[in-house]
Structure 1
Amino acid sequence: MNILILSNRDLASNFALNLLIPKLIGAHKVHLWLSGKVGKKRVLPEQLSRLKFFEQDLFNQLLSPLFSGKKIDKLKGFESFQPYLASELLEVNDINTPKTISRIKDLAPDLIVSIRYGGILKEDCINIPIKGVLNLHSGILPQYRGVMATFWALLNGDEKIGTTLHTIDDGSIDTGKIIKISTLDVQSNKSYLWHVLELYKQGVVDVFDTITSIAQDKKVLKLAQPKDNAYFTFPTNEELTVFEQQGLKLVDEQELLCFIRKNYL
């Protein structure tokens, strides 16, 4: 199949793409477009600014360039994906503009796969691929629609977090038909970012298995969601304070260093 992957320039996206793209090469033509951010530009609370530094700024500006040309058994920075792609790796933040829609039509993807992409796809984009659009959401649907679903699950004291692979059928957010939910036991001594990274190990397997089924014209079971659940947005200062008061952390530098050493260096 001809597949367009939409993702984001952050650590978790890079980790997920490293797990997915090598599995697709050979059997599929793969294109990769990245957003530079999630949502609109805004002033972030101090805690979220710190999280952004570790998962975006530090990774993109310092670490990702260092990972180019590393050993084959280590993970790659974004630019190192280029030799495996069927077209130029692009940063695309205006996914719904006429110019971008025309570019997608020129690519003629059979399938679009979204993993942490920063924009909301609208109908003109969604209607292009003949085999539809898939999204891997880092939360359990329909309970946790919206952004930072893992944060809200941890804040609520859930014993399990999860990913949901679902279709994108219209311009609404996280409301498509559910294909697969995979869960992970919460480890209260681990950070929010650690949990997010761990989720993608199984989440990417779910994406790959579904792509394989679609390519083989096998039936993919899809279950419609109820439409009455809340939508979560970025936490406020007060909610971030409660998170910390519960002994939870957004990011732990030592955890992150261990993750980088194990997977990239």
Structure 2
Amino acid sequence: MRLVILTQDDPFYLARNIDYLLKKLPPYAEVVATVVFDVSPFGKRESFKDKIKKTYDIFGLPFFLRYGFKFVSSKLDSRNNVRKVLADRGIPLIQIEGNINKDENLEKIRAYKPDLLVSIAGNQIFKRKLLDVATYGCINLHTALLPKYRGLMPSFWVLKNGESHTGVSVFFVDEGIDSGPILVQNKLEIGGMSQAALIDVTKKMGMDAILESIDKIHSGKYELIENDAAQMTYFTFPTRNDVKEFLAAGKRFY
């Protein structure tokens, strides 16, 4: 099975998790190429200066300093570099220009004859022409129990809303947002975890769920779980007031 991974250049969590995924891939699966988007933690493209200001304004000084230090130290550690992890394994990087759905970009991906596209923090909207490039379409990891908590930063929202459990969902991508039929869904008790701990745990769970999904697609033996739009909740990026309520409820970022 020929896989093309669609991801982003996140310096915090993705490199080591993608490395874990690559180590655990079954013999019949091969990552033949990758697309690495520019990082966009706020769900849209912004200048680095705007990202810094927005982080400070929304999350406050202690968070800003802690994650600023973590960002710099991660950039200095090659183990946190997505592109280097891929390069070390000899996996080609597909250079795209602008939106991935442009015909010229689709041709570049199509040249690798993918059986399956695997989106891990892919941060562009995927259109039907892209989804049809691969034989089995595209799967995506979402670190929440869909159809609840579609959208951005589910780890923040499940904590803020006092949920006792969360989890991970791997679904077939359609042209909506986190709306496709679910292939694998695994549940997790939150307990007293901070947001940082929850992200760590769910990212690792997510890699295992992707591996489980690849195996099911390869075997052809699976039953899809409905991603019921009537039960969905959707969340965008938090505001400063949301962060104040998060902290007032005794929740922790780290």
TM range (shorter): 0.7 to 0.9
Alignment TM-score, normalising by the size of structure 2? 0.83
Unmatched segments (≥5 aa) in structure 1: 68-74, 253-265
Deviates more, 1:42-51 or 1:222-231: 42-51
In 2: Cα distance, 1:53 partner to 1:34 partner: 22
**Secondary structure in 2 aligned to 1:81?**
helix
**How many residue pairs are counted as aligned between the two chains?**
238
Residues 25 and 76 of structure 1, relative CA distance in 2, 3 Å threshold: farther
**What does residue 113 of structure 2 align with?**
108
Structure 1 distance, partners of 2:30, 2:102, is 24
Listed as ranges, the matches of 1:179-258 within 5 Å are 179-188=183-192, 190-216=193-219, 218-228=220-230, 229-250=232-253, 252=254
CA distance in 2, matches of 1:91, 1:187: 42
Aligned to 1:2: 2
Deviation at 1:207, TM superposition (A): 1.0
Counterpart of 1:128 in 2: which secondary structure?
Answer: coil
Q: Percent identity?
A: 25
1:58 alignment partner, one of 67, 72, 86: 72
Contact 1:93 1:118 in 2 (8 A): no
Q: Distance in 1 between matches of 2:108 and 2:74?
A: 26
Separation in structure 1 between the aligned mates of residue 229 and residue 113 of structure 2, nearest angstrom: 32
Equivalence map 1:1-265=2 (5 Å): 1-10=1-10, 11-24=12-25, 26-30=27-31, 31-38=33-40, 39-42=43-46, 43=50, 44-46=54-56, 47=59, 50=64, 53=68, 57-58=71-72, 60-63=74-77, 65=78, 67=79, 78-88=83-93, 94-169=99-174, 171-188=175-192, 190-216=193-219, 218-228=220-230, 229-250=232-253, 252=254
C-alpha deviation, 1:107, in angstroms: 1.6
Residues 1:214 and 1:23: Cα distance change in structure 2 (over 3 Å): same
Question: Could you give the per-residue CA deviations for residues 88-135 of structure 1, whole angstroms, max 9, x where no partner exists?
Answer: 365776322222111111122110011111112111111111111111
* SS of aligned partner of 2:229: coil
Using the size of structure 1 for normalisation, the TM-score is: 0.80
Q: Secondary structure at the match of 2:241?
A: helix
CA distance in 2, matches of 1:54, 1:105: 40
Deviations 1:173-203 (A, max 9, x none): 0000011211222132x32121011012222
Question: CA shift at 1:13, angstroms?
Answer: 1.8
2:244 and 2:94 mapped to 1: Cα distance? 39
The whole-number CA distance in structure 1 between the counterparts of 2:74 and 2:96 is 13
Q: CA RMSD in A?
A: 2.5
Task: Give 3-state SS (helix, strand or coil) of 2:36's partner.
Answer: strand
Shift in Å at residue 59 of structure 1? 5.6
Structure 2: gaps spanning 5 or more residues: none
- Contact 1:45/1:236 (8 A) holds in 2: no
